Copies of this chain bind each other. A is one copy, B any other.
Amino acid sequence: MVRNGPSIKLLSRLRTLPPAPRTPSFAPTRPFNAPRHFSRASFPGTADRVYNTRPCIDSFLKPPRTLASYNWVRPVSTHPLPKRRSRLFRFTYRLFAYAGGFILITGGLVVAFFLYDASTYREDLSYTDIPVSENALEPRRGGPKNLPIAEVLVDDDDCPENSRQKHKPKLVILGSGWGSVAILKTLNPEDYHVTVVSPVNYFLFTPMLPSATVGTLELRSLVEPIRLIVSRAKGHFLKAEAVDVELSEKLLEVAQTNAQGEECHFYLPYDKLVLGVGATTNPHGVKGLENCHFLKDIEDARLIRNKVMQNLEQACMPTTSDEERRRLLSFVVSGGGPTGVEFAAELFDMLNEDLGRSFPKILRNEISVHVIQSRGHILNTYDEALSKFAEARFAHDQVEVLTNSRVKEVQKDKILFSQKDENGETVTKELPMGFCLWSTGVAQTELCKRIANKIEVQTNKHALETDTHLRLNGAPLGSVYAIGDCSTVQNNVADHLVHFLRSMAWEKGKDPEKMEITFPEWRDVAQRVKKRFPQASDHLRRLDKLFEQYDKDQNGTLAFGELHELLLQIDSKLTSLPATAQRAHQQGQYLGRKLNKLAQAAPGMTANEVDYGDLDEAVYKAFEYHHLGSLAYIGNSAVFDFNGLSFSGGLMAVYLWRSVYFAQSVSLRTRILLAMDWSKRALFGRDMMNY
């Protein structure tokens, strides 16, 4: 309300008022609705002008003729009318007032921040005497390998909360990724004595890792100290690697390299163990992977950034031949999944946007980026339209996409791959390269292999199998859980599918055995299957071909038997839930909630002497995965696939993509850092340095 006239009621009353008496005494009295600053702008001895909602100049040009022509208070002096401050003046005045207010408030906030800052420095020394158990300093030895057993930790008596938890059931969580953090954030801190064991002391926000490889984001913006997350959950942290589990004695064997470079092993006893150790890169039996970079960890991102910069610098040298320069500037990404595609996009952005500012222009002209994909399309788990969009985008950006190509060997300066041409013949090609990223799926870690070998029922080569309550199959019931990339939930897809087909027939009021399905109906079925089993998306891409293939009697419809066979065929291909942050996060949350329920139920069970049977089943439902969608960044544009609702776009999509991850980010700290990094990129570009 920068300008406001009198209220209507007042106005109508004023209109009926008799004219003001012509005493000079009232001359300086300003009409009540004149703006406040006028009192300062007007001069004594000159009469104030009437206030009018029309521009002032208007009434100045048409001097009043009769008293009746005034609606409001009239001027009472016959002095010439003074020149009034224009609307522009008033606008400027208000503008300055608000700008001044803005500056004052901003200044106030800055001062407040400095005061806050001053309060964060600690002058006094932060010593306090604390009791430490003798057992923590000199742990007793035992177990099958006669190792020290860490029954008490050095910080078990640090504070009253810790002392209270000392005798609670011991929950040991392996790993510091999405699953483990989701448990820690869901868990009721009072119920367990929690210890997290991980070889790294941070949580990594994996979905944005490709951005950190070229400096769009900084490394520290993607990581959060795991100790902070653990201590919020009143837990304990050990930076060490789990190497083995003694399932029957409930002892976890942990190894840590000490200052002398020797490996120290010890046992950590547990009541409940959660395996969230993730997965390693899948080598697919290809030779020469030592010549590749990987992108699983923050250190990988740092190495990639250094390597890319190093290649650029070497390409500028006078001793570098033209052929060698082209090789140094040939960047190859093996794997067309989200990680590979996003890395290629980020790399291209950096080379296209920032290189020219300070490097010789010849570099930009000789750069090439290649994506090698074994399937027919990149982003093959996404909707087909999105794959197409991504491919079109890459074609525009001159990022070469080599589909239907399998890498055979990676050498120091080139990569050998076989490619199927249109005639279905396989030709072997080679591509000189200066940098290769290997991002072709996941494989089991050493620890998981060792555990799987100990348990007879664990036959899956790709991951540890759990039941639908996420309990490790074959381990003592309710003692070991597995979540995230290292695990797979035994999927009863086949059962689900039969149930699904029957209910569909029932919906149509038909006998399932005699039901015939047309192509549009099949498309609908496929959509529903995809939604329930997102990992099936890849196998349900070419719906027309599948339909043709299984429609054996060629009558244009699928019989129940044909459809059943088709779906079973797909079921057999489904090995696990997708290896995504989303899945691990949901599993972690589920497990955290269940552990809370178990702790709540424990006193009752002890009272009733219930310590057998399926307690998990009794207290909480089975785990169910809800696929929320997938998204990917593709060179100044992004694609989204939210349960069939798929869309793609340019800059607005990029902002949306960022918003999604911004919201999912683990802490206020990382959010502020992300915002700072994005601003930094806008203001200064990516900094081209390596060290």
A residues 540-597 in Cβ contact with B at 8 Å: none
Q: Determine if A410 is an interface residue (Cβ-Cβ < 8 Å).
A: no
Measured in the bound complex, the distance between the Cα atoms of B322 and A237 in whole Å is: 18
Q: Which segment of A6-14, A481-489, A505-513, A611-619 sits at the interface? A: A6-14
Kindly provide the distance from the CB of A242 to the nearest chain B CB, expressed in whole angstroms: 14
A600: chain B residues at CB < 8 Å are: none
Among A121, A636, A651, A654, residue most surrounded by chain B Cβ atoms (within 10 Å): A121
A131 to chain B, nearest CB (A): 10
Q: Is A683 an interface residue, CB under 8 A from the partner?
A: yes
With A319-B266, A413-B259, A651-B121 as contacts: A360 and B154 at CB distance below 8 Å: yes
Contact with B along A321-358 (1 / 0, CB 8 A): 11010011000000000000000000001001101111
Q: With A28-B13, A318-B136 as known contacts, state yes or no: A220 contacts B127, CB within 8 Å.
A: no
Residues of B within 8 A of A237 (CB): 316, 358
- The one of B113, B223, B683 that contacts A679, using a Cβ cutoff of 8 Å: B113
A365 lies within 8 A of B127 (CB): yes
A143 CB to nearest chain B CB (Å): 13
By the criterion CB–CB under 8 Å, are B36 and A35 in contact?
yes
Q: Does A53 belong to the interface (CB within 8 Å)?
A: no
- Give residues 663-691 of A contacting B (CB, 8 Å): 668-669, 672-673, 676, 678-685, 687-691
| List of B residues within 8 angstroms of A89 by Cβ | none
Check B317 against A238 for contact (C-beta < 8 Å).
yes
* A95 CB to nearest B CB, Å: 10
Instruction: Report how many residues on chain A are interfacial, defined by Cβ distance under 8 Å.
Output: 140
In the complex, are the beta carbons of A434 and B228 less than 8 A apart?
A: no
Q: Does A40 contact B258, Cβ atoms closer than 8 Å?
A: no
Q: Is residue A239 within 8 Å, beta carbon to beta carbon, of the partner chain?
A: yes
**A267 CB to nearest chain B CB (Å):** 9
List the B side residues contacting A259 at CB < 8 Å.
Answer: 311, 314, 324, 327-328, 413, 434
CB contact list, A73-101 vs B, under 8 A: 98-99, 101
In Å, the complex CA distance between A359 and B298 comes to 22
Stretch at the interface among A17-25, A184-192, A516-524: A17-25
Q: In the docked arrangement, what's the CA distance between A256 and B317, Å? A: 8
A71 within 8 A of B: no
Q: Please provide the chain A residues from 1 to 50 with a CB less than 8 Å away from any CB of chain B in the complex.
A: 4, 6-7, 9-10, 13-14, 17-18, 21, 23, 25, 28-30, 32-36, 39-40, 44
A39 touches B33 (CB 8 A): yes
A13/B44 in contact, CB under 8 A: yes
Residue of A117, A318, A412 with highest tally of chain B CB at under 10 A: A318
Query: Of B99, B230, B365, B412, which contacts A358 at CB under 8 A?
Result: B230
Report the bound CA distance from A120 to B686 in whole Å: 12
Task: Count copies of this chain in the complex.
Answer: 2
Contact B319 A148, beta carbon cutoff 8 Å: yes
Residues of B near A504 (CB, < 8 A) are none
Q: Counting CB contacts under 8 A, is A309 at the interface?
A: yes
Q: Is A243 an interface residue (CB 8 A)?
A: no
B155 and A360 contacting across the interface, CB-CB below 8 Å: yes
Q: Contact at B32–A10, with CB atoms within 8 Å?
A: no
- Are A319 and B227 also in contact (CB < 8 A) when A99-B105, A117-B682, A218-B220 are? no
30 contacts between A and B (CB under 8 A): A4-B39, A14-B28, A21-B21, A29-B29, A32-B32, A98-B98, A101-B102, A102-B106, A127-B364, A130-B361, A130-B365, A139-B318, A154-B316, A159-B361, A201-B689, A223-B691, A225-B687, A227-B358, A228-B358, A239-B313, A239-B316, A259-B327, A264-B319, A265-B319, A266-B317, A268-B318, A297-B691, A298-B691, A669-B680, A669-B683
